[in-house]
Amino acid sequence: MRYTIHGEPMPVVVCELDAGESMINESGSMAWMSPNMKMETTSGGGIGKVFGRLISGEKLFQNVYTAERGPGMIAFSSSFPGVIRAVEITPDRPIIAQKSAFLAATAGVSLSIHFQKKAGAGFFGGEGFVMQQISGSGIAFLEIDGSAMEYELRSGEQMIVDTGHLAMADPTVGIDVQMVKGVKNVVFGGEGLFNTVLTGPGKIVLQTMPISRFMGLISAHLPSSQS
């Protein structure tokens, strides 16, 4: 499989497949494809996997596209202004990502739920108690809201992140929360009660405009309904 990523802030990844190669995606992200791409909708496993995808922010079913009778082409588009990142997944290097980050992947990549080890990070960390774990072997394409910034944290090195700005991280990165200090800061600071604390070692990818924050800004400027 060969791919190119085009366009921002509404990017698309165009994948060129050899005969017999397949791609999986969440339903609704396919933008265009060649006529010889065969689609099959699947649960991707038993009830457990279906439920896991649902609570991790994905659709109940996935689509599998396979190139038949020669090479094929398929494109997957982002659902929100931002960037698409291609990530190589290996059996010894899965990644943890925000809910709804998964866009598409080559066959051999699987999606499951990831529970935060610390309950505080789940309830107050901004992305809920459950995130996505993307594992297996292949290339995964992930959606990131806004622009992306990467940092490589050394062992014990920390980064304080505002709620919702964590896009993805290595499984070795610790995720916890801390309460904003000072009553005045909490009441008047406008940053909420909690920040996410990321502790190395491992790589983290942060996003500049979480969709939740974007929707909050839009709703604040909408006229209120009058009875």
pLDDT tier for residue 210 given thresholds of 50, 70 and 90: confident
Q: What stretches of the chain adopt beta strand conformation (E)?
A: 2-6, 12-17, 22-26, 30-33, 37-42, 62-67, 72-77, 82-89, 95-97, 102-106, 109-115, 130-136, 138-145, 148-153, 158-161, 166-169, 174-179, 194-199, 202-207
Residue 216: is its pLDDT beyond 60?
no
Span 2-211 CATH architecture: 4-Layer Sandwich (3.60)
| Domain definitions of the chain by residue range | 2-211
pLDDT tier for residue 185 given thresholds of 50, 70 and 90: very low
Q: Which residue has the higher pLDDT, 51 or 175?
A: 175
pLDDT tier for residue 127 given thresholds of 50, 70 and 90: very low
- What's the CA gap between 125 and 212, in Å, rounded? 13
Distances (CA, A) of 76 to 30, 68, 148, 203: 5, 19, 19, 26
The pLDDT score that the predictor gives to residue 124 is 47
pTM over 0.95: no
The pLDDT score that the predictor gives to residue 181 is 59
Residue 158: is its pLDDT beyond 50?
yes
Q: Which residue has the higher pLDDT, 188 or 74?
A: 74
Residue 49: is its pLDDT beyond 60?
no
Instruction: For residues 115-142, give the mean pLDDT.
Output: 69
Tokens of 210: 């979480």
Residue 183: is its pLDDT beyond 80?
no
| Least confident residue range of 50-54, 75-79, 86-90, 177-181 | 50-54
